[in-house]
Structure 1
Amino acid sequence: MLSRTADHLFWMARYMERAENTARMLDVNYQTSLLPQSTHYAEMGWKGLLSISELSGDFAKRYGEVTPASVMNYMVLDVRNPSSISNCLKAARENARAVRGSLTTEVWETQNQTWLEFQRMVEDGKLLDDPSDTFDWVKFRSHLSRGVVLGTMLKDEAFHFLRIGSLLERADNTARLLDIKFHALQIENRGSAQPMAGGISQAQESSGADSMPEEDQEVEFDFYHWSALLRSVSGFEVYRKTYRNVIRPEKVAELMILRPDMPRSLASCMSEVLENLRVVANAQSGETLRRVGRLCADLQYARIEEILETGLHPYLTQFLERVAMLGAGISRDFLVPGDA
């Protein structure tokens, strides 16, 4: 396969996955912002979302103050933001158009229709009137795109480069999301010697209770935040089925990092990257293949207790660095030079 064709396929999949991941992050932040909490911690959540994508500096130059409306406009519609959902869907469509001959008709039509429908939604001017509906639509279109690839594409080199791009992007996003959310909640716990501002929860009001012990309020607050994090990776029902107990931070981390049967976990993503890379391996990809195999082995034999003991943030930071090196290696070995 020509390196330019492989490059377009790889980035088509990455951009579509990035659009879905951005929608997931925005949705979970929007849902958690509706929970009882102080203005300070709500703002921290939106700042954390920008940090996940390393866009805090660019946002500050263009918008200044962090507000829910400005962050959502920047992350969904702003054409000056290369990682906005609008730009990701456009880039996915343009990469697909460049290699139409390597795609089935269904794959191309799905990509093209997604971009055209999004443009119509933008022109209607009601895209962010109901943010959750918009985010669900983006996730659905990404699911559809992935399903059409799996259901209609011949499992040749084109298919494998599509899968590699999608899985690398997914692993990168899962690590960033987990790191930011754990860090934000640690700050909240350190900075709050009393329950979060915002009064009685809706659950309390509906039950008619006038007060709730401080410990119970904190447990309820934590439950909704961890639930939102799990839902952002479609992991809430998976968690319940796997652990059958209350939501505990260390179990959330274990599910999202080490469980090979969790589709969006780091272990699952990197295992599939290794499988697909083995199929397309060439004479110069030996070192990249070795790095992926080493990373998979580290995830396979790690224990969450050891990771937490040494520090989750350093572990995830190192993981992101290793994923970035893998992306650069794949670009060097297979794709157009300079597109790392």
Structure 2
Amino acid sequence: MLSRTASSLYWLGRYIERADFAARLVEATVRLDVLSPRPAGELAWGSALAVTDASEAFAARGAHLGQQSVARFLTLDSTHPGSILSCLDKARTNARAVRTALSRDAWTAINRAWLVFDGRSSPGGASATINLIEAVKAETRGFEGAIHRMLRNQTTWFIRLGQAIERADNTARLLDVKYHILLPEGEPVGGVVDRDQWTTILQTVSAVTAYRWLYSDGLTPANVIDLLIARHELPRSLAASADEAVEFLSHLAKRTGHHGEADRLARARHARMMKVRSADVILGGLHQYLDDFLDENARLHHAIGRQFKFA
């Protein structure tokens, strides 16, 4: 496989995953905003920007921090590289470059997701925004299903590797922002706002039902942290992302013969994740742990590019 083809497939996976995460984040924030008293709602939109590392870019616009302006920025702003529209546009460009490697279902899902935004200039109010997000999520789920039905070969492994790296990054940022920023001053830990916000985190990673299956002692921050870091059963956990990175790199090494720094980094991270205990992470400093994880994930991303010669 040519390095530029590998690059397009890998980035296709990352951009689709990034668009899906942004959609889920906007949806959860809209719901939290509706439920929360002021200023908790405004703070929720500020946290959505922080999770996507877009606070400075949004501030440069000089817009009011609220649902209409932030939702438009994160969904429809073509000048913001992290908006859903921008991510889908980049995903579509990469998909077009490897069109013959994709199934018709996979290409159609990407194209339809991009067309959801055709002719739109605003996401609308809360209900309209939710409807827009649901349409995007339906197509990203369609793409995910199409990938699972394709041949298990280099095409699917590069796409899913990109998704795994992106998913790890998104979950770590989401958890870090909630733990350190989101709760308004004066609001009690364990209070209504705090519980609503932790529920929103679970909604963003599609883990509300999973949480209820795995924990019987009610909603607690410690359990949510445990779920998102250490539970391999949850597809969007850090542990599951580490599992997948090793798996797909192993498949690619056997098929392509490219084996090196990325494999070593992925296996070392996986070995640590197999031993991680969320209680120890919290005691040792969650913020520092997540910072280190994000740095390690970035190193793995760059190592993948060098190993497959598309850095």
- Per the normalisation by structure 1, the TM-score is 0.86
Contact 1:6 1:334 in 2 (8 A): yes
The root-mean-square deviation of aligned C-alpha atoms, in Å, is: 1.9
The Cα offsets for residues 259-295 of structure 1, whole Å up to 9 and x where unpaired, read as: 0111111101110111000111266642211111111
The Cα offsets for residues 11-45 of structure 1, whole Å up to 9 and x where unpaired, read as: 11111111110011111111111224232x33222
- 2:59 — aligned with what? 60
- Residues 1:118 and 1:127: Cα distance change in structure 2 (over 3 Å): farther
The Cα offsets for residues 205-260 of structure 1, whole Å up to 9 and x where unpaired, read as: xxxxxxxxxx9xx5333322221211111111111111122101000000011001
Q: Distance in 1 between matches of 2:111 and 2:135?
A: 15
The Cα offsets for residues 156-196 of structure 1, whole Å up to 9 and x where unpaired, read as: 111100100111111110111111111124x53xx31x67x
Match of 2:172 among 170, 175, 188: 175
- 1:87 — aligned with what? 86
Q: Distance in 2 between matches of 1:100 and 1:177?
A: 33
SS at match of 1:264: coil
Q: Distance in 1 between matches of 2:67 and 2:105?
A: 36
Q: Does 1:119 align with 2:118?
A: yes
The letter for the 1-side match of 2:289 is Y
> How do residues 128-139 of structure 1 correspond to structure 2 at under 5 angstroms?
130-139=128-137
Report % sequence identity: 35
Q: Distance in 2 between matches of 1:73 and 1:219?
A: 30
- Residues 1:126 and 1:132: Cα distance change in structure 2 (over 3 Å): closer
Match of 2:181 among 184, 193, 196: 184
Q: Which moved more, 1:278-287 or 1:90-99?
A: 278-287
The letter for the 2-side match of 1:272 is E
- 1:103 — aligned with what? 102
SS at match of 1:78: coil
Contact 1:12 1:92 in 2 (8 A): yes
- Per the normalisation by structure 2, the TM-score is 0.93
- 1:12 — aligned with what? 12
Q: Distance in 2 between matches of 1:107 and 1:16?
A: 11
SS at match of 1:130: helix
Contact 1:45 1:184 in 2 (8 A): no
Contact 1:25 1:177 in 2 (8 A): no
Q: Does 1:319 align with 2:293?
A: yes
SS at match of 1:81: coil
- Residues 1:323 and 1:178: Cα distance change in structure 2 (over 3 Å): same
Contact 1:3 1:336 in 2 (8 A): yes
Contact 2:26 2:48 in 1 (8 A): yes
Q: Distance in 2 between matches of 1:301 and 1:276?
A: 21
Aligned residues between the structures = 308
- 2:140 — aligned with what? 142
Q: Distance in 2 between matches of 1:219 and 1:127?
A: 31
SS at match of 2:77: coil
- 1:204 — aligned with what? none
Q: CA offset at residue 335 of structure 1? A: 4.4
Contact 2:110 2:140 in 1 (8 A): no
- 1:155 — aligned with what? 152
Contact 2:76 2:123 in 1 (8 A): no
- 2:241 — aligned with what? 269
